[in-house]
Amino acid sequence: MTTSDHPQDADRRQPMDPLERLAEIEVPPVPPAPTFTAGVRRKLHPRLLALHILQFAFGATAWALVHMTGALVAFFRYTLTGTWPTRGNRR
């Protein structure tokens, strides 16, 4: 038996499974409520605000531009041809 095949060496080796490694990590205690709340306000709230602004800028604004473009196309079509789309062709 070589030194690497010794049963005690198996205990000293790190586990290969990530879940087993996570099971061995020490978790720090939860900070007191005022400190925890202040940390959430300082770190999370600005990120949520930025996410909401990005969603509005790229989601709602794009949606509004699509519908505005449809209205402008209908306006120019009516101006140039004098006909309004039939009810079946409208969106």
* Residue 47 pLDDT level (bands cut at 50, 70, 90): very high
Average pLDDT, the chain: 82
Spell 37-59 as b/e; 16+ CB within 10 A means b: eeeeeeeeeeeeeeeeeeeeeee
- Can you tell me the mean pLDDT for 53-80? 91
Report yes or no: 21 and 14 within 8 Å, Cβ to Cβ. Answer: yes
- Can you tell me the mean pLDDT for 31-39? 89
Report pLDDT for 30.
Answer: 86
pTM over 0.85: no
Residue 51 scores a pLDDT above 90: yes
- Can you tell me the mean pLDDT for 29-42? 89
Q: Give the domain ranges of the chain.
A: 35-91
* Three-class SS state of 31: coil
